[in-house]
Amino acid sequence: MASSGRITVLNPVGFAPKVTEKSLAPRLAALDGKTVYLVDCRFDDSDRFLKEVQAWFAEHMPKVRTVLKPLSANYLRDDPATWQEIQAKGDGALVGVGH
């Protein structure tokens, strides 16, 4: 098999999308009596970490209700139903997005 001595090389560098900054939600004054959603984005072992967080809340802040909520897909796809549920039923959320 003869070769021309040339190879084609593709540049793997992409162009990042424009990121629009959003401010964080305001902090709650206190968590007692509040419901905090622990959102599992299904990143590697995030469910295990969030179960530990839930246990910490149970031990150290028993007046805080926690709800462990996995996303319907994974962190790459939006889940509007989960965000609507949190907005309707929760007071705050902790989103587990990675290590």
pLDDT digits (tens, 9 = 90+) for 39-69: 998 888 888 999 999 999 999 999 999 999 9
Q: How far apart are CA 23 and CA 38, in angstroms?
A: 20
Residue 14 lies in a domain: no
Residue 54 is encoded by which pair of tokens?
A: 């839930």
Residue 34 belongs to domain spanning: 30-73+90-99
Mean pLDDT in the chain? Answer: 90
49 part of a folded domain: yes
CA angle 36, 51, 62 (to 5 degrees): 50
Total domain count, the chain? 1
